[in-house]
């Protein structure tokens, strides 16, 4: 998997997330990167739908990780506030990363050294020249 896509509105980013959520397999870890407000949580909401999760998905900024039950369990991290490895260890992340669900890590590159090599890297970027709602989404499997 090494793809580049473009979306022109939030619905398209959500739909892309939903498609990937439908195809997701147990044990996968998705590292989401991109500036604040680029659409990482929008993508995750779609991904959760694709996993058959009906519960409302919100950004886990304060909780660090939220758990949802779907076709597979989804562990939704937002590590923006993590400032050291010890804080990450306190979340018990290894149980999630090496468990039987799927992990999505918003701001995942902030804990890059803790991510396994076979992680799926998704980067969302804006390009204001192409419009306010334009996003480029790159997906790369492995380092």
Could you say whether residue 41 binds ligand ADP (CB under 6 A)? Answer: yes
Work out whether 13 is an interface residue with Mg ion (CB under 5 A). Answer: no
User: Judging by DSSP bridges, how do beta strands 73-78 and 65-69 pair with one another?
Assistant: antiparallel
Cβ atoms of 54 and 83 within 8 Å: the answer is: no
Query: What character string, x for contact with ligand ADP (CB under 6 A) and - otherwise, covers 6-25?
Result: -xxxx-xx------------
**What Rg value do the Cα atoms of the chain yield, rounded?**
14
Q: Choose, by CB under 5 A, the member of 9, 59, 91, 138 that binds Mg ion.
A: 59
The residues, any chain, with a CB within 8 Å of residue 55's CB and separated by 6 or more, are 48, 68, 69
By the rule CB under 5 A, 41 interacts with Mg ion: yes
**What is the distance between the alpha carbons of residues 46 and 19, in angstroms, rounded to a whole number?**
8
Q: Which partner, Mg ion, ligand ADP, none, binds residue 135 by CB below 5 to 8 Å per kind?
A: ligand ADP
Of positions 20, 40, 76, 124, contacts Mg ion by CB under 5 A:
40
Compute the least distance from the CB of residue 91 to ligand ADP, in Å: 18
What is the Cα–Cα distance from 105 to 110, expressed in whole angstroms? Answer: 10
Q: By CB under 5 A, how many residues form the interface with Mg ion?
A: 4
């Amino acid at each position: 998997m090494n793809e580049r896509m473009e979306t022109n509105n939030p619905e398209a980013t959500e739909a892309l997330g939903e498609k990937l959520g439908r195809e997701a397999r147990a044990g996968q870890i998705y590292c989401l990167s991109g500036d604040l407000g680029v659409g990482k949580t929008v993508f995750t909401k779609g991904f959760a739908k694709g996993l058959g999760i009906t519960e409302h998905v919100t950004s886990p900024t304060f909780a660090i990780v939220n758990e949802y039950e779907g076709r597979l369990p989804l562990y939704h991290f937002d590590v923006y506030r993590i400032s050291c490895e010890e804080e990450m260890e306190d979340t018990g992340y290894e149980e999630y990363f090496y468990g039987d669900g799927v992990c999505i890590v918003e701001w995942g590159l902030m804990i890059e050294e803790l991510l396994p090599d076979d992680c799926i890297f998704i980067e969302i970027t804006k390009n204001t020249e192409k419009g306010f709602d334009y996003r480029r989404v790159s997906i790369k499997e492995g380092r």
